[in-house]
Each structure stands twice: as structure tokens, then as C-alpha cells.
Amino acid sequence: MDLAKNFQGINVKSVKAFGWKYAIYLVFVGLVLIITIREPSFMSLNNFRNILAMSSTRIIFAMGMGAILITGGVDLSAGRSVGLAAVLSASLLQKIDYSRRMYPDMPILPLIIPIIAAMVACGIFGILNGVIITRLRIPAFIATLGIQVAVYGACSIYFDRPPYGAQPIGGLDSRFLDLGTGYIGFNGLYSIPYIVIIAAVISLITWVLFNKTTYGKNIYAIGGNAEAAKVSGVNVGRTLIIVYAIAGVLYGLGGSLEAARTGGATNNYGNGYELDAIAACVVGGVSNLGGIGTVPGIIIGVLILSVINYGLTFINMSPYWQQIVKGAIIIAAVALDIRKYLARR
């Protein structure tokens, strides 16, 4: 009788511990089941592929944001950097015969050059973020807010160029569009979009950086206790500058791919994306207190928010209710994070 009671107690404890540890994954599965019960056709390879394609650029943004959050920082300039990258890359990759071409006399450029230009531009602003935070000792929230405004201003000045002024950038090169909407494999259900492959490669590289390099160990150490990391020999300032620079480069890549995926760009592209990236990271288990976070968790966080956006629209739920559901999940994720932190103490 006592043995049965002990076994039952252990079993309940194990189930409870499992529930807390994998709560966000269970929420994800539950959300998919609810949508599928409401609309069985949701569970199709085509919808799954669409969600992955929509999530791919967000995953790239979130990888950069995740590293920053792990250090205990934040980057409010991410969304505007995405917009800058979209505008810059799109303006340099328009069809040569497009009537509203921003640079009518410019020859056709190799596809990689405008994308690299966008990554470099955003990387420079990332370095500025890191320098202001580490050298001027300005809190990340304020520093990146200032850079956010500056990036938007710079993007708007560039976007509002004569002779056409502030007009949406369209007429994109077919090579660029193919990068955002093309696929590899068989036509139809069994194809894999190029941007999904790119996001997978970026995720793998980020996982290696987080788990197999000194850089990864340092960002976790800084997020856990910056002073202790400094005492143990970590160059905190240099590491943070590198973190913000890499994040900027990822925003540049993601913003370019977002322009290719959607077929155009304006100076308002990326508005609010930084909040989505932060939400995805927090939902995926990245601690808002720093020091904790994983690449698989970030990916799951992005997918959860994408399922909310895509799945709830699929079942014709009001956009206003979608925002309520998204907000509730974000709050629940932060509550779980705080509970885990208190439990460790």
C-alpha cells in the first residue's frame, strides 16, 4: 500500500515537472489541435509549408534578437533595421526595364551584392548599438530606441529620393523574387522554399555558435552575471559589440529576404517586428532576465506566433481576438519564465 502511494507520488511529481519544463511545447501542440478540430483541412502539407515560409524570415530576425536577450539586453531598433535592409536591397534589385527604377542607369548587379550591402548597413547600426551601450554606459533600452529613430530617419531619406519620391519600391528582379518565393524539389506539396533552407542554415550556424564556441559561452556568462563574467576574463564590452553587430547582420539578411518574399518594400517595412521577435524569443523560453535560451526554443516560439497569425486567420477568427490570444500566450510564457527562475533560487 505504501509502495503504491510512493509510486503515485513520484508519478505525479514527474508529470508536473514535465509539464512545467515543456509547457510551451504543450501549448503549441494544443493550439494546433484546437485549430485542426475547428478546421480539419488546416493539417495539410501546403499549409505547413506556407507557415514555414512565413516563419523563415522571422526566425532569422529572432536568432539575432535571441542572442541579445540572452546577454540581458534588448534591441528596439531591429524592426527599423529590417525595413532599411528591405528598402536598400529592393532598390538595387529592380528590373532594368521597370519604368520607376530608382537607379535607371545602374547595370544589373549580381544578386549577392545588394544583399551584402544591406547586411553591412544593418551591421554598422548594430555596432553603433553595441558601442553606445558599452562605451557610453547607456541602457540598451534607451540606446536602441535612439538608434531605432535614427535608422527610420535614414531609411526614409533614402526612400524619398527623386524623381519619384516616397513610392513603394516594386518591379523587382526575377532572380530576387525567386529567392523569396522559389523552392527546391517537386512542384507542389513536396517542395521546400529556398528561404526555409536559408533559415535552417542560419539556425544551425547559430546553434553551433551558442553551444560549441567561446562566443556562445561568453554570451550566456554575461547574461547570467556580467560582473562575474568580467572577473573570469570575459571581455564583456567587446562581446556585446559583436553580439549587436551579428544581430544587425541577421536583420539585414532577414529584411532582404522579406522584400524578396513580399515582392516590394517601403520605409515602413519592419515596423513592430522587434516586438514580434522579442515575443517569439520569450515564448520560446529565452529568459527576459538573461542567461537562458536555446535555438530550438526560439524556433518553436516563432512557429507558435506564426500558427496564431496563420491558423486563427485560417479559421476566420477576428484579428482583434487574435491579438488577445497572442497577448495571453506571451504573458503566460513570461509567467512560466519567472516561476522557473524563482524555483531555481
What does the DSSP assignment read for 309-328?
HHHHHHTT--HHHHHHHHHH
Give which of 2, 35, 61 is closest to 253, Cα–Cα.
61
Per-residue pLDDT, 43 = 82
Per-residue pLDDT, 6 = 54
CA distance to 133, 245, 288, 293, per residue, from 198 (Å): 31, 20, 27, 21
Per-residue pLDDT, 322 = 80
CB 161 within 8 A of CB 104: no
| Domain annotation for the chain: domains and CATH numbers | 44-344 (1.10.3470)
pLDDT per residue over 224-262, tens digit each? 999 999 999 999 999 999 999 999 999 999 999 999 999
Give which of 62, 64, 18 is closest to 299, Cα–Cα.
62
Enumerate residues 6+ apart whose C-beta is below 8 A from 82. Answer: 61, 251, 254, 255, 258, 269, 270, 273
Instruction: For residue 169, give the 3-state DSSP assignment.
Output: strand
- How far is Cα 57 from Cα 261, in angstroms, rounded to an integer? 9
Per-residue pLDDT, 2 = 54
Per-residue pLDDT, 211 = 95
Per-residue pLDDT, 226 = 92
Q: For each of the chain's 345 residues, which pLDDT tens digit applies?
A: 555 555 455 566 677 666 666 776 777 788 788 888 888 888 888 888 888 998 999 999 999 999 999 999 999 999 999 999 999 999 999 999 888 888 888 999 999 999 999 999 999 999 999 999 999 999 999 999 999 999 999 999 999 877 777 788 999 999 999 999 998 876 656 788 999 999 999 999 999 999 999 999 999 999 999 999 999 999 999 999 999 999 999 999 999 999 999 999 999 998 889 988 998 998 888 887 888 899 998 998 898 888 888 888 888 888 888 888 878 877 877 777 666 655 555
Cβ count near 14 (within 10 Å): 10
User: Which residue matches cell numbers 513580399?
Assistant: 262
- How far is Cα 154 from Cα 83, in angstroms, rounded to an integer? 11
- How far is Cα 329 from Cα 341, in angstroms, rounded to an integer? 18
pLDDT per residue over 17-61, tens digit each? 666 667 767 777 887 888 888 888 888 888 888 889 989 999 999
CB 60 within 8 A of CB 261: no
CA distance to 6, 73, 87, 249, 263, per residue, from 82 (Å): 55, 19, 9, 10, 15
The phi, psi pair for 303, rounded to 5°, reads -65, -40
CB 58 within 8 A of CB 306: yes
Per-residue pLDDT, 59 = 96
Per-residue pLDDT, 289 = 82
CB 197 within 8 A of CB 184: yes
